[in-house]
Amino acid sequence: MKVTIFGSTGDLGSECLIQALDEGHEVTVLIRTPEKLPKNLSSRMTVIKGDALLFDDVMLSISKSTDAVIFAIGVDEKTSPQDLCTNTTKNIINVMRSNNVSRFVWCGGGSNILKEDVITFGSKFVRWYAEVFLNHRHTDKEHQISLLEANNDLDWIGIRPLQMKHGIKKEKYRLGFNAYSGFSKITFSDCAHAMVNMLVDDTWIGKSPIIQY
């Protein structure tokens, strides 16, 4: 598949990039600082220098031959602009529509409680903690989810991790609307594994299940 990845140099995005390449996908990345990409990987992809907050730059990175988009942009509580994920997603969706691209795989957060979730004290605590201490990211992801739900004719699909950490790829995890808490964990590598699989797996289209061990 021809896949465009946003957020390719972050902890999650870099794992998505490596695994997409290893699966044989033809990858394009949009990145503000191409020098941040590993030199041994740069020759294996198409690199476009630009900013996902700029519509014209996003247009350059998603062509009519693109099959899918992976969204792995992270939010920094101190430095990221307000609604970074939401506003970049607006640009991406508009370009996808103009170029007849439908598959959008993205990463949300466990603090965003959905109607399908099993509501427990743990999930309520996660939401409270995020609203108080990670409100910038939490609010952005709330807005992003609302945007995607308003565009449910697209084949968007996502996951919501809790605590992400570095570690080996086990390829064994729970994916669904299971009970969770602030102690629920997943590695960046397994989170990326699920997202790359979602490029070709229709199981969760229009849904954002929790991913955890």
**Structural contact between residues 61 and 48, judged by C-beta atoms closer than 8 angstroms:** yes
Q: Whole-model pTM?
A: 0.96
| Of 190, 104, 185, 200, residue with least CA distance to 151 | 104
| Of 15, 6, 38, 37, residue with least CA distance to 166 | 15
**Cα separation of 31 and 53, whole Å?**
11
**Cα separation of 187 and 189, whole Å?**
5
**Whole-number pLDDT of residue 39:** 87
**Whole-number pLDDT of residue 72:** 98
**Whole-number pLDDT of residue 42:** 85
DSSP SS3 for 31: strand
| Of 164, 165, 173, residue with least CA distance to 197 | 173
Q: How many domains does the chain have?
A: 1
**Whole-number pLDDT of residue 33:** 94
**Structural contact between residues 12 and 159, judged by C-beta atoms closer than 8 angstroms:** no
Full domain range(s) for residue 34: 2-212
Query: Tell me, what CATH number does 197's domain have?
Result: 3.40.50.720
**Cα separation of 39 and 120, whole Å?**
45
pLDDT truncated to tens, each residue of the chain (213 aa)?
Answer: 999 999 999 999 999 999 999 999 999 999 999 999 988 888 899 999 999 999 999 999 999 999 999 999 999 999 999 999 999 999 999 999 999 999 999 999 999 999 999 999 999 999 999 999 999 999 999 999 999 999 999 999 999 999 999 999 999 999 999 999 999 999 999 999 999 999 999 999 999 999 999
**Whole-number pLDDT of residue 43:** 87
**Whole-number pLDDT of residue 207:** 96
Q: What are phi and psi of 160, to 5 degrees?
A: -125, 100
User: Which ranges in the chain belong to alpha helices (H)?
Assistant: 11-22, 39-42, 55-61, 84-98, 121-133, 135-149, 188-197
